[in-house]
Amino acid sequence: MMRTVICLGLVMMLQYPGQGSETGSLRAPEVTETRSAGRLPRNPLFPGADPHAVVVGDAVWIYPTWSDGALDRFYAFVSTNLHHWQRHGPILRFDEVRWIGDDGAPRHYAWAPCVVHHEGRWFLYYSVGPQNPTPSRIGVAVADRPEGPFRDSGRPLLIGDATFEAIDPMVFRDPRSGRFFLYAGGSAGARLRVFELQPDLVSLAREIPVATPPRFTEGAFMHFWRGKYYLSYSHGSFRHASYSVHYATGDSPTGPWQYQGAILTSDATRKGPGHHAFFQHPRTGEWLIVYHRWENQMGDGPYRGSRQICIDRVEFEPDGRIRPVVMTGEEPTSRRFAP
């Protein structure tokens, strides 16, 4: 039976065997020693923001907020070498989701997806914009394949209120208990909430009270490694140099959290790196981070244009702390994905 792999939220190998996860929601590659993945792609990869990644066999799938053209739909990008990417989709269009238009807003935006595999089906969790005056909402859609098409469940999974912005869903399967947890929230109010999902993964079982970790703004991500739970998240304003990735650790998927510091921050010309996901290289087990940033910018912002998707290496100290990530890459001369 083929081995299941999961990263950045969830990851699996086609012909999906069992589940269990060392990185996101399922099982990380079984590697006794991690090896270098070799030459990483030249950053940036393609336009987009808020990327979530899933490993399927030898392929890496990235699900971003799309920022080049129509903004009311999602696309998926897949690569077997991290250098060349093929685009699939749209995998979900908002004009196909009836409840989204019930607010009467003239337009809606597809933000911050997360994809999870469970029992032969793929679940796409997503944010619906704009948020004001419409309450923020998170939806969930289901497909039989990672490239979709995804069909919405028929109702919002979570609706925000005056004290909580329901955005940036991230679903994590706890490798110890097998339970699925939804992490959501941020931006206005900068509040994190955690829910346990029902076995169907399209409804909530209960909310679990958690403390919002220091410097949390949005974009929570959870992964598990060597007995520790790593909660990472974005801090600051997404159009400014303050946008960055911080993390905290804990002994359970719901904390309590011990703040560990920043691991991804702006440099001289690459600004506002954030809303990331971790995954392990499907062949070497090396840890990588996928995130967005603004290219060739000066000053503190606000920046305009399209954010770009990038991948860089992640290194751990012997005690399990994450070393600050060194951003790499040059401005590409052309896009490297097949339309």
Rounded to whole angstroms, the Cα distance separating 263 from 121 reads 33
* The two three-digit tokens of residue 38, written as one number: 């070799």
Query: Radius of gyration over alpha carbons of the chain, in Å?
Result: 18
The highest-level CATH class for domain 46-338 is mainly beta
Q: Is pLDDT larger for residue 135 or for residue 53? A: 53
Contact 337, 87 (CB under 8 A): yes
Coil, helix or strand at residue 60:
strand
| Per-residue pLDDT reduced to its tens digit, 134-177 | 889 999 999 999 999 999 999 999 999 888 999 999 999 999 99
Residues 123-127, mean pLDDT to the nearest whole number: 98
Question: SS3 for 121?
Answer: strand
User: Which residue shows structure tokens 């908002």?
Assistant: 94
Distances from the Cα of 339 to the Cαs of 34, 48, 93, 143, 330, in angstroms? Answer: 33, 14, 17, 21, 22
Q: How many angstroms separate the CA atoms of 240 and 244, rounded? A: 10
Domain ranges of the chain: 46-338
Structure tokens at 67: 């920022």
Looking at residue 37, what is its pLDDT? 60
Mean pLDDT of the chain: 87
How far apart are the C-alpha atoms of 140 and 122, rounded to whole Å?
10
Output the CA angle 224-149-124, nearest 5 degrees. 30
148 contacts 128 by C-beta, under 8 angstroms: no
In this model, does residue 330 exceed pLDDT 90?
A: no
Write out pLDDT tens, residues 194-247. 999 999 999 999 999 999 999 999 999 999 999 999 999 999 999 999 999 999
% of the chain beyond a pLDDT of 70? 86
Return the half-sphere exposure (C-beta side, CA atoms, 13 A cut-off) of residue 189: 16
Could you tell me which residues come within 8 angstroms of residue 63 by beta carbon, excluding any fewer than 6 positions away?
A: 51, 52, 53, 54, 74, 75, 76, 77, 91, 113, 114, 115, 124
> 17 or 183: whose pLDDT is higher?
183
pLDDT at 52: 98
Burial call 145-182: b when 16+ CB within 10 Å, e when fewer: ebbbebebbeebbbebeeebbbbbbbbbbbbeeeebbb
| Closest residue by Cα to residue 216 from 179, 177, 174, 188 | 188
46-47/180-184 β-pairing:
unpaired
CB 246 within 8 A of CB 264: no
Extract the tokens encoding 226. 């060597």
Give 243-277 pLDDT, tens digit per residue: 999 999 999 999 999 999 999 999 999 999 999 99
For residue 200, the 8-state DSSP code is T
Q: Which two tokens stand for residue 286?
A: 């090396």
pLDDT value of residue 8: 37
Does residue 124 contact residue 90 with C-beta atoms inside 8 Å?
no
